[in-house]
Structure 1
Amino acid sequence: MTEHQLPRWLMTLAYSGSVVVMAAYTLWLYAMGDYRELLIPLFVTLLLLTALLMHYSQGLTPAIPRAILLASTYAVVLAAMYYQPSTPLIWLGLPVAASFLLLPLWGALFLNILCTPLWWLLPGTSDISSTFALGYLALILLSALPPWEHARRGALLRATDPNDGDCNAYHIDTLKERLHNEYQRAAMLNKRLAVLVLHLPQLDMAEEQFGQRAQLALLGTLCSEVNSRCRDHDLLGRAGNATFWLVLPDTSESGALLVRERLQRALSRCVLVETGHLDTRISVCLPCRTESFERYVKRLEARAQALVEA
């Protein structure tokens, strides 16, 4: 649901704290005798408890409990301002802040703009001044500034950093650029060129069952083993989520097969705590003499897709 992933411990704290706060709010309404307003907080408490249990589940995407948390925030604030028109308008900032924390930037902006007319239909907000309306819009824009700056810095970093953000391998754009250079060099100097296509079938499973830390451990182990057993001028790049290309300049088909066997033996000996032995599928792909670079890249992508479906 969000491009910037919040730490798991922070989300655990958010779910747990929301359950405690909502349960306390429900008990307070019960003690005050406001039985008419009790139903929605009680239902939201059960929803938040469900979201907390779903957060601990390894097989579910984190987008589902986050959506429940966000919807619960909107429902509680909406119900409080509907049943109690004297509720301070400052509470309108709570769903705004939650949306920018739990949603991508453009999704949060769209949701807040869409919900703006809804707040003005509530009994307590029918006579608010234009100053408050301007302040509410300013709050939305100010809340959008941190994620916008984060996205801008991330884009700048991706444009200037040749390495992938999760492992010690080239980014896909840098990888294709370096591969193009090696392809032209091999064609001009009549040199040999080979590329190994590597696929990690355990990667998606590791992220779904054990979280991002297990995924990063798999990526780090693969890159460390490959880089330690290759030459300095060999190029390892991440071509997809679980796919890598190892560019081997001045390497014949027989040499590429030897490298593949050496890497498969080395990677099969790697054992991780969560996933066990490292399972890697490796294929060799050599360019043809009359083949264009674009055609060669498509063959590499097709070879990677074949390894995924194998």
Structure 2
Amino acid sequence: MLHLRLLVPAEHTDEVTSLLERTVGTTHLVVLPGVARDPVGDMVLCDVAREAGDELIAALRRLGVDTYGSITVENMDLTLSTRADRAEEAAPGEGADAVLWEELVEATHDDSTFSVTYVAFLAVATMLAACGVMLDNAILIVGAMAVGPEFGPLAGISTALVQRAPRLVWRSLWALIGGFAAAMALTAGFAWLMDVFGLFNVGMIEADRPNTAFVWQPDWMSFVVAFLAGIAGTLSLTSAKSGALIGVAISVTTVPAAANAAVAFSYRDYSQMTGSVQQLLANLGGIVLAGTLTLLAQKALWRTTRHHQRAAHTRPPARSTQA
């Protein structure tokens, strides 16, 4: 279930409550007159089944509630109510399959911001990966993958393409390209500093590294793994299963490839640098493609499911014939 808190000017309260009352899957409607001060007006509370949430939020926005008032949506972990159970049963579709597009756009928008914190996380992850590739240490590589925040902009690009939001596309691209450029530049400087202190040397980059050589040797399996990870990551976002993102993060080779490219550049090993960049691009492309196709499939499947269930609910009973 979702919990909605609406701040509505008094002159619009009736049309908003009327919409809530006729929306299938809505229950626990509460109106608190005159309690809102900014904006001045009423507070309207209700619960709605997740599978009915996206259409309800879209309808509220068409009324302009987000313009003259506010819409706040919260996920409810536990609701003990017979009315809530009936509301979920009445709403077409399954809550686990429902996508809240407004929530997804907002989440990817926040995660696709080119900020100091975002660049710091990406740079630290890339430096950790640089230590991993130089020491041929797979544990450090896995740790660096988990730290990297790059899935946010990748999901933002997929969401923006499906929702046709060009501003989010450019915002996500800037965070992705600018973030990796800054992280790789800082990692190249880090490698130079480590070389000065004798902790890195050219022999380490040129040595056989059986545990980490894959980061600069791209093949079709790299793309396949990235594609599967993109599907899993997108599903984890749309179903609010955020824990699955950790598994996604440690299955793609974006950060390690960027790290190896930066270190190879600092030692003028342009062959490894080229291979690493190709690995990076293959992973980024696979994730974006998978995320976009997954969202398109979810949107199409959800529309088909709701259409069939609504048709079943509205179909008149068959007439019995007597001989």
Q: Same fold (TM over 0.5)?
A: no
TM-score normalised per structure 1: 0.32
Question: How high is the TM-score relative to the length of structure 2?
Answer: 0.31
From the CA coordinates, give the structure whose radius of gyration is larger. 1
